[in-house]
Structure 1
Amino acid sequence: MVVFCFLVDQKRKLKRTKPVAGSCSRCQRGASVADILTKTRFCYVPVYWRSCKAIVCTFCGATLKTYP
């Protein structure tokens, strides 16, 4: 018996943000440093968690740079 299951999703959650000097290169608004938790699930079973720091725009939500 063969069962194929290709349902994969990824959720990102901002844990903490802190304002940073500088602006977004896309919309020229403010930016902040954020701790991001990324969860990857395969068939509703969590298989991978990753936590990193990133510079995120506070207006458009674009991720400008990530740090491991």
Structure 2
Amino acid sequence: MVVFCFLVDQTRKMRRTKPVAGSCSRCGRGARVADMLTATRFCFIPFYWRSWKAIVCTFCGATLKTYR
């Protein structure tokens, strides 16, 4: 019997952040605009990257809004 096992994972990293006017709708703390990078790996080899912007809460870490 042959069994194939593939490992796929996805990581998100914040590259740069800037403060934004307003607050988080969940906890009421401050929010920041972040340049995000998503990397998808297949068997430890990265094969897909995506850059996007998001408004992220500084306290609870919730993603409030995303932009492409």
Aligned 1:1-68 pairs, distance under 5 A: 4-68=4-68
In 2: Cα distance, 1:38 partner to 1:8 partner: 13
TM-score of the superposition, structure 2-length normalised?
0.91
Which runs of no fewer than 5 residues in structure 2 stay unpaired? none
TM-score of the superposition, structure 1-length normalised?
0.91
In percent, how many aligned pairs have the same letter? 82
SS at match of 2:56: strand
Amino acid at match of 1:33: V
Would you say the 8 A contact 1:17–1:33 is kept in 2? Answer: yes
> How many residues in Structure 1 have an aligned counterpart in Structure 2?
67
How far 1:6 sits from its partner (Å)? 2.9
